[in-house]
Structure 1
Amino acid sequence: MIYELVPNELHDEFKAFHHDLEKLTSQHVQSCPFCKKTEFYIIRSKPNKTYRCKGCHKYFTVSTNTPFNRLMPYNWFEFIFINRINKMGYKEIADRLETSLEKVTRRDRAIINYLQNHYPSLHSWYIHQKQTKLMPSLEEQYSTIKAKVTALLNEQNPTCKHCGSNETTKIGSRTCYRCKRCRHSFNLLSNTSLNRIPKPELWLQFIDLLVSGANNSQIGKALNLHNDTVRKWRSAWYYMMIDWQCEALAIWCKNK
């Protein structure tokens, strides 16, 4: 049944990935992920099987050196993968697994990372199956965030934080102002996660890309930003969304 939802040319990659997920669930290990030797022994069976290699003497599990590392239980990955193909939303998957939305999205991103590294064609197809239409509650929070950012960037005469005067003028292109009365300067975003985050002219585009599900590499290419910068911005906006009472959207946009 599920094969009918996957293009014929991707069936081989799909079967291979599905087999990988089955091995992950059964915790079947063929070789040491570090030295590739096949001689190892189990040192612990619960909560998941832990092995020790007789060659390099390192400890490992079935998920070591994979995006799935430490993301138990492993059988969730197949459930999430199959239901995402079936167009099931994250919220419904989370409800069925009786877990949080954040845990589901984190595991889906692990699936995407694994596909990108091992099955590029399936990865390209799968990411276009991701839910692009936001739930009404997320859509509302998305609109709220964009409205707040737009208002913030277009603020003309905010109240001075030092003397309370409205006789203020903007300094540069960020959210910095100087009071004409007391001559003090201030930043509307001081003591927030966005303090010192540059290029405000890109903030709205960045938020759009976050909500669309773009990964760090895609965002970096679209906005000509370094990957480290994208990671920093993503983290900053995650906490800013929480501060602005948009926690569900923050979880939606958060990257691992």
Structure 2
Amino acid sequence: MSFLKVIIFFLGIPSLLAEELLFSDGFDNDDFRAIGISSAYTGGNQTTAGQTGGPTDSQGFDALPSFSDLFWRVTTENDVLELTISNITSSHSNVSVAFSLGMMDSWDGTSGTYGSDIFNFEVTDGTTTLVSLSEPYSGGVAPSQGVVATEANRVQLGFNNGGQVWWNDDAYRLEFNNLAHTSDTLVLRFWASSGGSGEGFQGGNDESFAVDNIRVTYDAVPEPSASFLFLIASCSLMRRGKRV
């Protein structure tokens, strides 16, 4: 093996081994935080099932691939569900964020009479905005930004049973990958707002959204000392190979 091939192999190792799980939470007592990481939720209330904010029984949603037994439901306009992840000490160059999103309870989207209902999401490092999404998710049609899977399109998943199509639910899996990030803080914010000239977001049991299975990963930057030792070891193996 030539020295050049060793260098190429060495440079390729970080990309293969770099992704690390920083944080995940399915609201089922299954949250994960990397060593030293702290996290906190604000917005809504951690109350009994079906009340404003808080985790609630996912009913039919838990049959979908990326939803689980409980999730965090928000039913009040501009009630921001905020997740702050802090004490990120590992050297890293970017982060990736994924979560499941349920649009429930006769979400009206761009309806001129009953809408518009707007779902908002943003990611910041505490000062700089990395992602900004503001979409109506109208009629079961998801925006292209972030959506990697549409899991349920206008079907009944357990909220406000009724025969009318606008009473049915939608579910999506969203991913935002390789967001440039090097700070020790990451903030995720989710909220609903009104738009257009209609009634807007009524909230309560009329309209709501839910978030589930949040997952945050990062690309770790290898420590220089470890990288140097790996390179020395690779060169040593290469020299031994030539002697045989």
Normalization by structure 2: what TM-score?
0.25
Name the structure where strand makes up a greater proportion of residues: 2
Greater relative contact order, per chain length (Cα 8 Å cut-off, separation 6+): 2
